[in-house]
A and B are shown apart, each in its own frame.
Chain A
Amino acid sequence: MSDEMNIADYLAQGGRLTNPTNVPARYRAELMKIMATFVDSELAGAAGFADVINAGPGIKERIAAARIVLEKTDNADRVLRLMGEFGANTDRYANHHPWSDRLPRDTGPGTRRSAHDMRLSVLNYPLNGWADAVVMNLCMGLGVCVQLEELVKVSYQPLAEAIRGILPAERHHAELAEEGLVRLLAEGADLTGSLAYWHPRVAAMFGDVAADRMAQLRAWGLRDRGGADLQAEWQERFDQALIRLGVT
């Protein structure tokens, strides 16, 4: 054993990188992409939800929605600060995109991202009222948890730690959504339309990357499980939630 080791070998053996100066260029490009996707998705998600706070049928619902907006913005900030350590202009970044922009509601599901930012494709679709927002929040919240449980293993230690801190809040958002749906169902709301609308759009965010790129990401410790695997996990949790809710 010597003191020196190729950084690729180190990563392939599960090593962690801990600050921008020991991150190789191409690793950094992939890492920044992962962080930008997270930040943009949180900012876009928060912006979309901010619009429905007032649609909440009661104070409790509005508090829950406002809290989700606050915490998602805070989560974006935590990761954006890490991007700042790599030289990203965080002030400019946060105001760079119209985060509440959405496609027309009748746009078909797909994995296409907006040309202007890195949000997950599902966040390009508009919410249609309170019940629809809560359904989206459950579908997406469960998906986000699956994605973040993957991301918490990432080889860039500061990001892994940020995600570890973020996960409980995101889990809670999915729980709030489920509580909200319990209430809506008790009041006799029909959620079938919203479920049918959001399910394929959230499913599409687990898109697979090309095999050679996936192998590279895995070797760098930036990805572990494939998209299909993650999607199946999400589907399982989604089905369980529907069973708990008595919706089938």
Chain B
Amino acid sequence: MIGLNHYILVSAALFSLGLICVLIRKNAVNVLMGVELILNAANINLVAFSRFSAANLNGQLFAIFVIVIAAAEAAVALAIVLSMYRLLKSVNLDRADILKG
């Protein structure tokens, strides 16, 4: 029988994988994929908690808003990455190094 614990384990694993992906990847698009993993880990949490422990629909509603926000964020993020590509002909984050100190 699959219960709340299984969902929480999956979402914790997804969250950790997303965080690791963000920290070690050099490619801007891969980093954004890591961010999506983090947001979807939160979504699994929300839906699972809504079903098993909270006994209300707030969590599922929240998850829908998170999906919308994730889409908006991806649109803005990809536009910025695209303009980086136009300027540098690369999406490698190591190339973005003119601001430091």
Q: Do A and B bind each other?
A: no
Interface, chain A (partner B; CB < 8 A): none
Interface, chain B (partner A; CB < 8 A): none
